[in-house]
Amino acid sequence: MLTIPNIYRHKNAKYLILLPLALFVISLFLSHYLVLDPTLVGGATIILQSNSTIAPQQIASSISSAIHGSSPTVEAGSGTIQITMDLNTSLAAAETHLNGVGSWESNYSNYFLNFTSYQIALQAEPSNNTAASALNISKAGMSKSLAKMQSSFSAEMSSLKPFGVLPNASVNVSNVSSTLQAAQDAYSKAQVIYQNRVMSTVNSIVPYSSYSFEYIGPELSSYFLSQLQNIIIIAFILVSIVVLFIFRSPIPSFAVVFGAANDIIVAIGAMALFGIPLGITSIGGLLMLIGYSIDTDVLTAIRILKRSGGTPEDRAYESMKTGLTMTATAIVAFAVLFVVSIIIYVPTYYEISSVVLFGLIADIFTTWFGNASIILWHKKRKEGI
């Protein structure tokens, strides 16, 4: 049976923390090269059910030649091909202008309500100068909003010219409701045309039996990104509060939170290194890492700080044996999921399993070289050992 030596008895055990710190710095550097998938930056994802033997590089090159500016990436699995395409600049610009039309339509409606209410007030009290002044402001606001709305609508139509979408001749641009409806209809029509063009091109390159097509615009992807960032920040804040409540001391609490943060940073660095994009699915894997990391870190801190029997080094060593068993079990489980996801090509399982595997491997170094070292140093300093 393999016996792990008690590394915490070594006189230079405190320097063990240098390894997770080095991993943190390297991963932080690599994270600048992390790629975001279409769910967070916008773009199209196409999944084909196909037994084609055409090389992914050849498919990507053919699509790029046929659709300029698409810059596709292609991944092939067992009976499945996934094509990821960059955000279409014309659709992206049109979406921005469409949102402008909606925003100015909302402004116009608000000014119109105010205008109507002040008109009623003046009819009841013609000498009300305040109402008269507010009426003029509302009227000016309506005129400005209508002009801005018409400008946004015109800009949207200009952006949609590559799709052959033209404004309906019957659209009355002085009517805000009909203008907004026309803008929405034109954008929806352009999306359908874009999808048909892309799928027609793909069909001419690689045969398939069925497909799924998902296009995410810049506004929705930006919303997803901001919300996911908020979720991670809130998760860390809540974890910090709970850990501080448990230990009532900043140093053990810092060690636990550092462990979780380091695991996530190392996982992100590994994702950048191996070309795994960050998306909604992989964010789920990162959130799972917080739970795994906190589990082993809190186990270590409680055994070293709150239990008696043996030296702090011995308690840290016993925690390490227990923790490594837990982590090894999780690594085996996610390694099986990782292999299965490659064989049958399930992108969701592949992203989650790979991200969690990176983090679990990082957690071995973070917890037992970094977290345990910090807590041992704190324990000895507190007891004057």
Residues 158 and 198 placed together within one structural domain of the fold: yes
Residues 111 and 165 placed together within one structural domain of the fold: yes
Domain boundary among 170, 197, 216: 216
Residues 81 and 30 placed together within one structural domain of the fold: no
Residues 223 and 211 placed together within one structural domain of the fold: no
Q: What pLDDT is attached to residue 333?
A: 93
Residues 160 and 185 placed together within one structural domain of the fold: yes
CA 342-348-349 angle, 5° bins: 50
Residue 175 covered by a domain: yes
CA 297-298-303 angle, 5° bins: 105
Q: What pLDDT is attached to residue 228?
A: 82
Residues 207 and 311 placed together within one structural domain of the fold: no
Q: What pLDDT is attached to residue 1?
A: 42
CA–CA gap between residue 58 and residue 77 (Å, rounded): 15
- Identify the domain containing residue 126 by its residue range: 44-216
As given in the structure block, the two tokens for residue 281 are: 């699915």
Residue 72 covered by a domain: yes
Q: What pLDDT is attached to residue 314?
A: 86
Residues 211 and 224 placed together within one structural domain of the fold: no
Helices (H) and strands (E) in the chain, counts: 12, 4
CA–CA gap between residue 325 and residue 69 (Å, rounded): 49
Residue 184 covered by a domain: yes
Residue 259 covered by a domain: yes
Residue 10 DSSP label: S
Residue 109 covered by a domain: yes
CATH number for position 128: 1.20.1050
User: Look-up: residue for tokens 């690594």?
Assistant: 331
Residues 137 and 173 placed together within one structural domain of the fold: yes
Domain boundary among 216, 235, 269: 216
Residues 350 and 228 placed together within one structural domain of the fold: yes
- Number of folded domains that form the chain: 2
Residues 6+ apart with CB under 8 A from 143: none
- How much is the pTM? 0.76
**Beta pairing class for 80-85 and 73-77:** antiparallel
Residue 113 covered by a domain: yes
- Write the DSSP string, 218-263: HHHHHHHHHHHHHHHHHHHHHHHHHHHHHH-SHHHHHHHHHHHHHH
The residue type of 79 is G
Q: What pLDDT is attached to residue 331?
A: 94
Q: What pLDDT is attached to residue 35?
A: 86
CATH number for position 335: 1.20.1640.10
Residue 2 covered by a domain: no
Residue 258's Cβ-count burial label (10 Å; 0-12, 13-18, 19+) is buried
Residues 148 and 248 placed together within one structural domain of the fold: no
Residue 1 covered by a domain: no
Residues 313 and 379 placed together within one structural domain of the fold: yes
As given in the structure block, the two tokens for residue 42 are: 């916008």
**Beta pairing class for 73-77 and 43-49:** unpaired
CB atoms within 10 A of CB 380: 14
CA 306-311-312 angle, 5° bins: 50
Q: What pLDDT is attached to residue 187?
A: 93
Domain boundary among 179, 194, 216: 216
Separation in Å, CA 172 to CA 103, 178, 189:
18, 7, 19
pLDDT in tens, the chain (385 residues): 456 778 888 777 778 888 999 999 999 999 999 988 887 888 888 999 988 888 888 988 888 888 876 778 888 877 888 888 888 889 999 999 999 999 999 999 999 999 999 889 888 888 888 888 999 999 999 999 999 999 999 999 999 998 887 766 556 667 888 889 899 999 999 999 999 999 999 999 998 989 999 888 888 888 888 888 888 888 888 888 888 888 888 888 888 888 889 999 999 999 999 888 888 888 888 888 888 888 888 888 888 888 777 788 888 888 888 888 889 999 999 999 999 888 877 778 888 999 999 999 999 999 999 888 888 888 877 776 5
Residues 91 and 198 placed together within one structural domain of the fold: yes
Residues 6+ apart with CB under 8 A from 160: 90, 94, 186, 187, 190
85, HSE (Cβ side, Cα atoms, 13 Å): 30
